[in-house]
Structure 1
């Protein structure tokens, strides 16, 4: 069994596993930017394959995509051109003199900040990158959900998909490391082409709504929205003209819009 990240090491496979033909995540982010009158200069932090950055670029934004993965950046430049793509560690980055009107951080990328120092590094970097009044827009797993919700932890999850004639199957187990406040995932991939199994381990910091408010305030941000949905990965999902957020925090996703003060 090899130890690798099958999906993030193979960006085309990642996009096949997580298709977003309607560009829901990017459209939700654009809705937040419009709702709070953000300017055109956008930093997509943790941009991954570049799908969302490229959609925002086509929508008229001046987009820079930043990621730590060379494989993801190469894929983004080749398959989702338009934005500028740069290598950066979200836990602490400095992109020079350019000031952004918004930082967008989607799909729990913010939760790769596993420690308080990591989180401080990200928020300090975002503040430094933003023009006064700029926005931070993020969506992520909701730590508060795991105070009572156990359905994601009770049993292994299985799934499969087929890409270019090969079927990929996975068994995924989640557990909570309460002392470290991490949601830990162990996923084993198998394929029908005779390749050895691939074990993938990853973790996300579990942030609670009030904890996130406190961290943002400490770094000079005012929270404008903080809620469990609807968003691009909720059920039902966000849709243009759909219901407004209720302000609750019971769901398994958390959405935040904060302004640099």
Structure 2
């Protein structure tokens, strides 16, 4: 199944158990908190782990995601009723409605095609107020993170909230020109086996800067990790902060 951990009700529960709050969430929460009572967009919000925390911090938050199963979990979280949830993509975003936009958990890498990434950035620039902030993460291709996604190194056991255990492992199925395809495999205690496949784009720092500039953003900073380390000295990440320029006037 394509993107099963976001779309299949059973795999969404596994994703929730495997991906608890982490230093990336701390980072993005701190970034958003630099703007008091902000109107915040969480694009690709998934199951809403960060989204509901942003609302609890006093912001007005909108979570957008195309995966219905993930949004169902997000809506059911404590505090989820305070968030505006939208099932869809950036194409649905209203103009100049947000002060801050975030794309977390490497959502930016799911836009494999350059044209799709460019459209998303233009949509975000349109949705942000002039000078509004965009923050997102993407893995640094120099870190070659995909080399760890193999059956020998990726085997793991995931404990679900009900005490059930899932055995999982990952295999890379293709690497070419910065595009990496892979499949997660899951084995449940009741014997059911499921898989989830995906493809990610690993863009260089120069490619990210160029794409942001073309969409009307000015890059403020690019860090290499969640503690604001220089690129190449952190967690193998690009942690990007940029500002939205003014929209061109309509002729």
Q: Which residue of 2 aligns with 1:67?
A: 65
The corresponding residue for 1:252 is 236
Where structure 2 has 5 or more consecutive residues not aligned to the other structure, the ranges are: 246-251
Contact 1:99/1:131, CA 8 A, preserved across alignment: yes
CA distance in 2, matches of 1:226, 1:176: 28
TM-superposed CA distance for 1:26, in Å, is 3.5
Contact kept? 2:146, 2:180, Cα under 8 Å: no
Matched with 1:87 is 87
- Contact persistence 2:121–2:212 (CA under 8 A): yes
TM-score (norm. length: structure 1):
0.82
Instruction: Map 1:44-193; keep pairs closer than 5 Å.
Output: 44-79=42-77, 80-90=80-90, 93-97=91-95, 99-146=97-144, 151-152=147-148, 156=152, 157-163=154-160, 164-174=162-172, 177-179=175-177, 181-193=178-190
Deviation for aligned residue 1:118: 0.7
Question: Which residue number in structure 1 is paired with residue 248 of structure 2?
Answer: none
Between structures 1 and 2, the one with greater helix share:
2
For residues 12-70 of structure 1, the C-alpha deviation after alignment (integer angstroms, 9 at most, x for no partner) is: 332112122xx6444311322345x4761000000011121110001011100000011
Question: Helix, strand or coil for the counterpart of 1:81?
Answer: helix
User: Residues 84 and 154 of structure 1: is their aligned pair in 2 closer, same or farther, counting only changes over 3 Å?
Assistant: closer
- The range that moved more, 72-81 or 61-70, is 72-81
SS of 1:60's equivalent in the other structure is: coil
TM-score with structure 2 setting the length? 0.85
Q: RMSD between aligned alpha carbons? A: 2.2
CA distance in 2, matches of 1:78, 1:132: 33
